[in-house]
Structure 1
Amino acid sequence: MENDRQDKAQAFYDDYWPKNVPDYKKTREHVFEIVPTRKYKKAFDGGCGTGVNSLALAEIAENVVAFDLSSASLKTAADLAAKLELKNIKFVQGSLLSIPQEDSSFDLVYSWGVIHHTVDPVKSFHELVRILEPGGCLVLAVYLQTRLTFIHEITRKICLKMPRLIKSSFIKSLAVFIRSIEKVKKLNVVRDDNPYIESKIEDWFFVPEKHYFTIDAMEKLYGGNGLTFELLCEKTGRFKSTSNFIVRGIKNTN
């Protein structure tokens, strides 16, 4: 059952990420805002997608492991790294539920918006902590649980059952609606760093796996696993119900 769910997630991202490559310049700026600025020996990008975060991490780490479930995403990431002539990134395919890396082997572990899309996000969290060395930094972005979460989940479960043609029409119609609201009310739903609202709709409602955390629950996870806790941003978007929150912490050296 777990393997079947993981296969569905892999198939989704094999299709999704290669056609939705984030803007590297803006991603780079964002990474440097949330990762403590120093030189790292070895960084791990857990769920790297198309690798734009990995490219940024390669500037501040001697070596980077770009890790993802999707082979298509990794190919896109490797192609981007080759264009920039970056030689210090290793691309590895696998699941965050069982990371093929030694304990305490990275001084920076970064995972943007990924563990909440795994079959077992807490297990994925534990794996990220396991490979982080004492004194190392763990940076995560995860979906925020709000009073509207149940509405999003009902909508997502309905959307997952849509035939392909209906799915396409739904995405286009909702995108038109959101753009009309943004134009009239200036809600800034379609942000400059992601003008392709269709891709956001697909990520909101058509992902096979989606889990949510409260900030308190994440703080307990960090503290219970020997990490400090710092809330960097409580919502990354206009609305909390469709946002990640960003946290980081340092692993105890005791």
Structure 2
Amino acid sequence: MRWFVRILVFLLVVPLALVAAFPQILRCQLIDHAADFQRLAPGVWVDKQTPERQRVYLLFEIHEARKRLEALWNSPAQSRAEVIYCQTPEQYGRYCQDGEGAGCSLGTPWGDSWVIINPYGRNPDVLAHELCHDELFTRLGWLKTQRQIPQWFNEGLALMIDQRFTTTTDSLHRFEEFTDHWQRQSKGQQIVLDLTELESLRDFFSGSSERVMLAYMTSGREVARWLSVVGRQGLGKLVDAIWKGEEFGDAYRRLEQEAQGKR
């Protein structure tokens, strides 16, 4: 009987603690009761003041973002995140933890997830970027994503379908473009970040805006390099290996070595 009580307490305490620590999750959870939002389509919420033209564009941009997502994973998207489109920075701040950036993604241990877009983030790049975070979360689950996936990989992978910094979808050419960006951002390699300095969310986003941009370019360069070696099928193999219990670092290196051995 004790084990039943412990499980029951866990199931009650964890959601309550999460909601207390992140009130934005509660607001997302109750979006269908929000006075200033309405459902535009299944899983898509917009401020009631959103002009009709923006509503049409938003649905098109979500569709385009999902197409990029499926091309990267080479399989149908599993992400079921609900999209919340805000009209003002203040409104966006109520649903995103720090209120900064063009968009953010939130997920819970029980599987609910949301992509929140600010007034300036309504485009396929931001949507694809945030949906990519959610795709990884959906495929691995909340716990494995939190414990196993370093932030540099999470961000670098999202940059593979975010065309704000590159013009090509080919991973090899993306590596070259990210290398150029990285060279400029590191001031000719005078300021270099090691991947071990970018493993946690806090580490990745600490420091100045220039340091954060260098973190992005470092991550994008590394993931583009890795994908150019293992191919798109390598991404699916990586997730499968982690799901079966292999450590991220071990699987990441093993798949690259195996791909190089076949050349």
Greater strand share, 1 or 2? 1
TM-score with structure 1 setting the length: 0.25
Larger radius of gyration: 2
Q: Larger relative contact order (C-alpha < 8 A, sep ≥ 6)?
A: 1
TM-score with structure 2 setting the length: 0.25
Greater helix share, 1 or 2? 2
